[in-house]
Amino acid sequence: MSSLLELVLEANGAARFATVSKITATVEYGGTFWDLKGHPSFAGSAIVEASAHEQWIRQTDVVGGRQMIFDRSLNRVTVMEPNGKVIEELHNPRRTFGGYTQRSPWSEGQMAYFRCYTTWHYLVEPFVFAFPGTMSGEIAEHAEHGEHWRGLCVTFPEDVDSHNQTQLYYFDDAYHLRRTDLQPEVNDYSPTAQYVDDHSEIDGITLPTKRRVHMRRIDRSPDTRRTPLSVDLSGIQFS
């Protein structure tokens, strides 16, 4: 019998993804989170270019043209004006969040780091689960909306930045991702449930194009009264 990871990879087009080197997309960021952190301009649309097999991503805001690049191999994030002038550059950006609470304001560099590493994951999941050094194993299923979603616990290597080194992913009967449970380290480990929907097959690869983030209660139910973060993908291309 195939493992859950093998079934997920096959159902979403891992064989085709293995031939891809670059992903481009338009990403629309919404929610109250950006304003809460003191930078409402980070909501809106961006043109994104990302490496499919290394954690490298470049974003260019549609309005204003601000650019941001995160290169995990250099452990550096850079925010630039449209003319290339550096606004802020952070080396080892994850360490800059030490001692922060959920109410702590962030710098532009920290905002760019958050937006870059999360978006890269949204473009390469679930295929990143099979990258070298990543470990995974099936866990108890999760029941919600009258459905039963199979669970996968994934631990990323230290050279892949994510919300947490270990995160929980839940898949429906079609082996499409439906929910992720996490506690972002950069935001004081706030319990979060991320809901994933609107899966699209593009050039033999299936990716979800809609994500909604809710705070997670002690009983693991989402607080749907507000949506701190939303992320929508469109115009996805693989090359």
To the nearest whole percent, how much of the chain has pLDDT over 90? 99
Residue among 169, 1, 153, 134 nearest 55 (CA):
134
Grouping H, G, I as helix, E, B as strand and the rest as coil, residue 199 is strand
Q: What is the pLDDT of residues 140-182, one digit of tens each?
A: 999 998 999 999 999 999 999 999 999 999 999 999 999 999 9
Q: What is the pLDDT of residues 39-73, one digit of tens each?
A: 999 999 999 999 999 999 999 999 999 999 999 99
- As a whole number, the mean pLDDT across the chain is 97
- Which amino acid does the sequence have at 79? V
Q: What is the pLDDT of residues 72-82, one digit of tens each?
A: 999 999 999 99
Tell me the C-alpha distance between 123 and 26, whole Å. Answer: 11
CATH number of the structural domain spanning residue 83: 2.50.20.10
Segment 199-223 mean pLDDT? 97
The model's pTM:
0.97
Q: What is the pLDDT of residues 121-133, one digit of tens each?
A: 999 999 999 999 9
Beta-carbon contacts of residue 139 (< 8 Å; ≥ 6 apart): 151, 152, 153, 168
Residue range(s) defining the domain that contains residue 220: 4-238
How far, CA to CA in Å, does 44 sit from each of 40, 62, 119, 204, 212? Answer: 9, 8, 14, 28, 15
pLDDT greater than 80 at residue 35: yes
Tally of domains in the chain? 1
In which band, very low, low, confident or very high, does the pLDDT at 1 lie, cut at 50, 70 and 90? Answer: low
